[in-house]
Amino acid sequence: MIVCPGQGSQTPGFLSPWLAIPGVRERLGWLGAVAGMDLVKHGTESDEQTIKDTAVAQPLIVASGLVSMLALFEHPADGFRLVGAGAGHSVGEITAAAAGGVISAEQAMVFVRERGRAMAQASAVQPTGMSAVMGGDPDDVTATLTRHGLTPANINGAGQVVAAGTMEQLAALTAEPPTKARVIPLKVAGAFHTEHMAPAVDVLSGYAKAMSTHDARVPLVSNRDGAVVHSGREVLGRLVSQVSNPVRWDLTMETFKELGVTGIIEVPPAGTLAGLAKRVLKDVEILALKSPDDLEQAHRMVKEHGKSTGSAQDPTWRLVISPAKGMVSFTHSEVGTAVEAGSIVATVGTLRDTYEVVAPHGGRVVEWLVEDGDPVSPGQPVLRLHPQEG
């Protein structure tokens, strides 16, 4: 499995060793041209304050993940065949969407450029930020954030919650933290994943209407709720809405368990997600791909843990998968029933919610792979469709 980090993971000069790999400098230069900024300079020479700027940090992080995968997979098709699933934390979901074939690298860079600009503008309305709360009793942490008027913008698991709000609210949290908890200010310039970002959602939703997508070539686990998403339009819609909604990385890692993930590689700027995974996912081999020195281990992991996902598009059959763990209920039950692209063919009920099972392609129901009322897992094939003729 490949995971892609979010903002705050960048450090000055972190891309310097990667430029020694043939083709990486040129590819990073191209992605920088698309984004309208010198990403080679920002990844090698720019200081901490410069790359903390939201408008710079977000394109830099997405481009970093994409160019590192040139060294991880020589040919993109290799990744599609061997990666069991992908996920990203916050802006890292854009990296994962491009790596999974939902949008092109160029679309990703335009989208993240506009995302960074819009979020920076939203952040400029008043001084806001984010702080990680490490440890403490979960109920006490929640109560303390509420008392200070803060939002739990990232619930990361492993005893980590990221609080977001105004600088005054964050200062009060530092002065009066939850019992037995540490408060660590993060290198971000806004209260991301809160109502403070609503203006950015409006901007991105307009751009999304003009973007073409493809269905994911590998299962993508959404950080909104841990659901496995296949439909390209749904992936894009979630990229827009997540800007002002909390990141539930704890639920994302729960889905990793349910998918039976045995190995995780975090792409640059790596370290944060690997650290969280090591505290939660036991018996899973985890690698933070920090420099080319880690590539030998990464290539071994891809070979040992990689497997065909079964979600590559076959010209004869189409598989519809479950987005979550729960009980399945059919809405189209008869074999031979015609299904339009985007139709809801079933629902999956959980203790928390009900998820729609959407057919990303049109076709006719050939075979249900589960029974009505059966328990299903995220990413599990539930229905086989035959593509519509003509």
What positions carry a catalytic annotation? 90, 193
Virtual torsion, Cα 39, 40, 45, 47, nearest 10 deg = 10
Cα separation, 251 vs 366, whole angstroms: 33
Contact in structure between 276 and 248 (CB atoms under 8 Å): no
Distance of CA 246 to the CA centre of its chain: 12
Whether residue 173 contacts residue 73, with contact meaning beta carbons closer than 8 Å, is answered with no
The token pair at 3 is 């995971």
- Residue 4 CA to residue 112 CA, distance in Å, equals 14
d(CA 253, CA 278): 11
Q: Are 311 and 217 in contact (CB under 8 A)?
A: yes
Element (H, E) at 232: helix 232-241
Structure tokens belonging to residue 235: 């992936």
C-beta of residue 331 within 8 angstroms of C-beta of residue 345:
yes
- For residue 344, how many other CB atoms are within 10 A of its CB? 12
